Amino acid sequence: MKLYTLTTRVSSIFLALSTPPVVHSNLPRSTYPPTHAFKLTNHTSSGVPPWNPSKNIERDGWIKGELPGFRGEWEVKGKGELGGEEEEEGEDIGGRYSVDRMKFDSFTSTVPSSTWPSPDSPPWSVVFRARQVPGDGNCLFHSISLSYLHWKTGRHLDFHEDSGELRRMSEWMRKLSVENMRSPVRRGSLRGGWSGSTRKGVGGRSVKKSNTNQGPETPSPDTSGPSLYLQGGQSIPLGSLVSSAGLQYNLTSSEYLDCMESDSTWGGGPEIVSLSNALRVPIHVYELCWVGKGHPKLRGGERGAGKWGVRRMACFGSPKWDRRGCLEILSCDSRFPDLGRGKAKEGNHFMYLERVKGREE
């Protein structure tokens, strides 16, 4: 993938986040205090969840209702997509999570009605549920941590018992992403997971900050050094990824990494790419989309109103590491799920996504 493509299609959503700068950093940071630990109980003041209370969010953070999943606008139209016979022009990542293998439903209602299923047809082919995470500036790392925990152990973190584990995992994920952008980590250094790694760095190694007093760096992207894998047959030089991310905030590469290492600094596209490469597991990113009323797969009252769904916007790490499964997260408006019909802005928050239905041939 060309650098400008990454910037326009991915980085613009993950990095162009509007928030007042803080002292010593031009990177967006949360204005809320960091969430160190919380328990969702009914008996103490700590029972208030670390997100805006909503009747649409369960006490354990799960968003009520399910979200149908669709292919991205950048992807080809799958042959199995509700009667579609021809593939449209677009990108096909191939592998285990290709459009054809996922069997996404058609998103648009402009498909001829003769190709739509009957009213008593099976429900959505790909379905997700989303889980809220604290909006403390670490939401990206919280979301990936929850997904990684479920992928690795098959369990969901119980916020009612001890959320301190989420904090420890997120700290480890942040440090891992930054260290891998300083110098790609070796696979063996990940042994031991996040346990005990938040103070010493990844795998027990000390995290050394770059010396920012070595003079100004070149303002153009650095194409030297190793590359990180993106998706499909595309990769990007590590220097280009970091320097172009820093340039958006008028920071050198070293300054950008030093800021990103700080708690509550908002992470985005570069950090997702870095973590996918460090963990050797795909991380798929989805965005909100509004399924308009009249869509033949809507049921009951939804047919006359519409509902929220999610569209795939990036498949970092696929198909190279598809055999290991994938992590899935949602880039969304921080007001979700309390949004008007289709009134979502660019993503300024992340949530954990769990695919509860979907084909992987």
CATH code of the domain covering residue 199: 3.90.70.80
Distance of CA 239 to the CA centre of its chain: 22
Render pLDDT for 70-104 as a digit per residue (tens, 0 to 9).
Answer: 999 899 876 645 444 444 568 889 999 998 899 88
Mean pLDDT of 274-301: 90
**Which contiguous run of DSSP H or E holds residue 130?**
strand 127-131
Measured between its terminal Cα atoms, the distance across the chain in Å is 26
Percent of the chain surpassing pLDDT 90 = 45
Task: Report how far residue 85's alpha carbon sits from residue 80's, in angstroms, rounded to the nearest whole number.
Answer: 8
DSSP classification of residue 185: P
CB 179 within 8 A of CB 185: yes
pLDDT value for 303: 74
Does 42 score more than 80 pLDDT? no
CA neighbor of 348 nearest in space, from 145, 135, 85 = 135
Give the number of other CB atoms < 10 A from CB of residue 27.
Answer: 25
Residue 25, helix vs strand vs coil:
strand
* The one-letter amino acid at 121: S
**Domain ranges, residue 168:** 3-357
- Split into its structural domains, the chain has a count of 1
Does 343 score more than 80 pLDDT? no
